[in-house]
Structure 1
Amino acid sequence: MLNYQADPELLRNKVILVTGASDGIGKEAAWTYARHGALLVLLGRSQNKLDRLAAMIQHETGVSPVVYALDFLTASPQEYHQLAEQLSSTFHRLDGLLLNAGILGTLGPIEQADPAEWQQVQQVNVTSTLLLIQALLPLLRRSPAAAILFTSSGVGRRGRANWGAYAVSKFATEGLMQVLADELATTHIRVNAINPGATRTAMRAKARPDEDPGCLPTPAALMPVYLYLMGNDGRSVHGQSVDAQPPRNG
């Protein structure tokens, strides 16, 4: 899977929504899916960043993504359903959902965790995912072969000192993926999680300012796994948490 070579037409005409599409892995995944033929829905907080990405994708592929700005920290359940209604009127179905949006919060001992920030991290990283899935499942059920990909983390499998609210949110993400996968086991919707590992992104730089980013893989290096699990070649994988790169320390 790590060395997967995707057919250029792997995602032709598949409707795929990517959250956290403004930066980092989400931005790279959106580019990659578009280059393999997908019809993109870009979801994030920054309208300007999303518009710029959409313009670049349109320039390269000739297909303009749908852009939808939504702040997961403050959005109401009604706003998620409004998104679903808009997508239903435009595409009538959804073939893929990459749940990539997330925030880090302040790293430090549990003893010093700020309760308000703790709630914010859980809201963005976990609760918003629940609300989005609830709103979009009817559209995913209309697809003949749909895929939902959660974004996990190594600190969501084994706790690590000082990773606080972020680590706890990723444990919850793993749990939510497993529960949903079991509930959808007899459907045509595949559910998996990807642990990207240490990657050259702004979030990683914030978490580990002592680290040389040049020693880390770029988001582009992880895309074989993102393609495999989103496309039909990965249809036999369900309910799994997959590493996007070989294990490393840190």
Structure 2
Amino acid sequence: MDYHVSSDALKGKVILVTGAGDGIGRQAALSYAAHGATVILLGRTVSKLEAVFDEIEAAGGPTPAIIPLDLMGATKQNYLDMVDTIEGQFGHLDGVLHNASLLGVLCPFEQIDEKTFDDVMQVNVKGAFLMTQAMVPLLRKSDDARLVFTSSTVGHMGRAFWGTYAISKFATEGMMQVLADELSDTRVRVNAINPGGTRTKMRASAFPAEDGNLLKTPADIMPLYVYLMAPEGKDVHGQCIYAQPKLAPGEQTASKDEG
């Protein structure tokens, strides 16, 4: 599919990116800004967010904003306050990319540690749930809003030893589908992206022996990320789309995709 958009497709848009300090989140923030968006950088490491902030400004993009927040400890009130701040500062919110995720530990199901399970669910599921719940009223006010979740191949088909992460991504896709159905008659489009095996720290921790140079970089998969936020993608709704189409379910190349 052709994910071409105009160079200023996101001009005037305000888009929040979680996990914006590095990896896919960092690249998405840079790409959104390059297409004209004012990006809100959310993450837990201020120094990383400041580096992305500086990179956007150096490239001539709209001045971004930084929200230091650790999804592990964030409460419902934190998210409600955050939305009030965003509305007060920008007046609107047009897009959210839920990118932040924890991998947890790859191990047999019987050996899953309860705390690890709780931590992964807190960040990957409950954090996204509470943040989205707080943000939907503001997104509804936009003329053309987008809500994009991050899934994985193991969020479609469970895989041995990936229990905690897979369960969290099944939940993520379910959340996306529920929201897409509920918001089908609104101006909010809801989708998910499966990035596929990408050159990130999470991927490296899951496959330490793998040659990362053989993987797509975050920049390589950005056309889809931009398209789903842009006017050109307005008719896409309720779908989980593979950023690397060769990684379709059932293909052998998908067997080592952790998303």
TM class by smaller structure: over 0.9
Comparing 3-12 with 115-124, greater Cα deviation is found at 3-12
Q: Contact between 1:148 and 1:189, CA under 8 Å: does it hold in 2?
A: yes
Give the CA deviation at 1:61.
1.5
User: What are the within-5 Å matches in structure 2 for residues 228-247 of structure 1?
Assistant: 228-245=227-244, 246-247=246-247
Distance change in 2, residues 1:62/1:210 (3 Å): closer
Alpha-carbon distance between aligned partners in 2 of 1:205 and 1:45, rounded to the nearest angstrom: 20
Alpha-carbon distance in structure 1 between the residues aligned to 2:211 and 2:107: 21
After TM superposition, the structure 1 = structure 2 runs for residues 30-179 of structure 1, keeping only pairs within 5 Å, are: 30-179=29-178
Task: Report deviation, 1:76.
Answer: 1.1
Aligned equivalents of 2:233 and 2:5: distance in 1?
Answer: 11
8 Å CA contact 1:92–1:139 kept in 2: the answer is no
Supply the distance in 2 between the matched residues of 1:29 and 1:18 (Cα, whole angstroms).
8
Correspondence list, 1:3-14, <5 A: 3-14=2-13
Q: 2: distance between equivalents of 1:8 and 1:207?
A: 35
Q: Alignment identity in percent?
A: 51
Distance 2:236 2:52 in 1: 30
Unaligned runs of 5+ in 1: none
Which residue identity does 2:178 align to in structure 1? Answer: V
The one-letter code matched in structure 2 to 1:177 is M
Deviations 1:88-147 (A, max 9, x none): 101111111100000100111011000011011000000000110111112101100101
Determine the C-alpha separation between the residues in 2 that align with 1:204 and 1:91.
Answer: 35
Preserved contact between residue 34 and residue 61 of structure 2 (Cα < 8 Å): no
Matched letter for residue 24 of structure 2: I
Shift of 1:63: 2.4
TM-score, length-normalised on structure 1? 0.98
Aligned length: 249
Mapped contact 2:33–2:61 kept (Cα < 8 A): no
Letter of the aligned partner of 2:6 in structure 1? D
Q: What is the Cα deviation at residue 233 of structure 1?
A: 0.6
Contact 2:146 / 2:188 at 8 angstroms: preserved in 1? yes
Q: Residues 24-78 of structure 1: CA distance to partner in whole angstroms, max 9, x if unpaired?
A: 0000000000000001100011111101110111121252201001000011111
SS of 2:53 mapped into structure 1: helix
Structure 1 vs Structure 2 CA RMSD = 0.9
Task: Name the SS for the 1:72 alignment partner.
Answer: coil
Tell me if the contact between 2:107 and 2:162 (Cα under 8 Å) persists in the aligned partners.
yes
State the match for 2:190 in structure 1. 191
Q: 2:27 matched to which residue of 1?
A: 28
The CA distance in 1 between the partners of 2:61 and 2:10, in whole Å, is 15
1:6 partner amino acid: V
Could you tell me which runs of 5 or more consecutive residues in structure 2 were left unpaired when the two chains were aligned. 248-252
Q: Deviations over 1:162-202 (max 9, x none)?
A: 01211100000010000010000100000000000000000
The residue type paired with residue 27 of structure 2 is E
Q: Is the 8 A contact 1:198 1:216 kept in 2?
A: yes
Q: 1:181 to 1:49 in 2, by over 3 A?
A: same
CA contact (8 A) 1:194 1:244 kept: yes
Aligned to 2:250: none
**Contact 1:55–1:64 (8 Å) recurs in 2:** no
| Structure 2 Cα separation of the partners of residues 61 and 152 of structure 1 | 31
Matching residue's letter, 1:149: V
- Structure 2 match to 1:210: 209
| C-alpha separation in 2, matches of 1:165 and 1:16 | 29
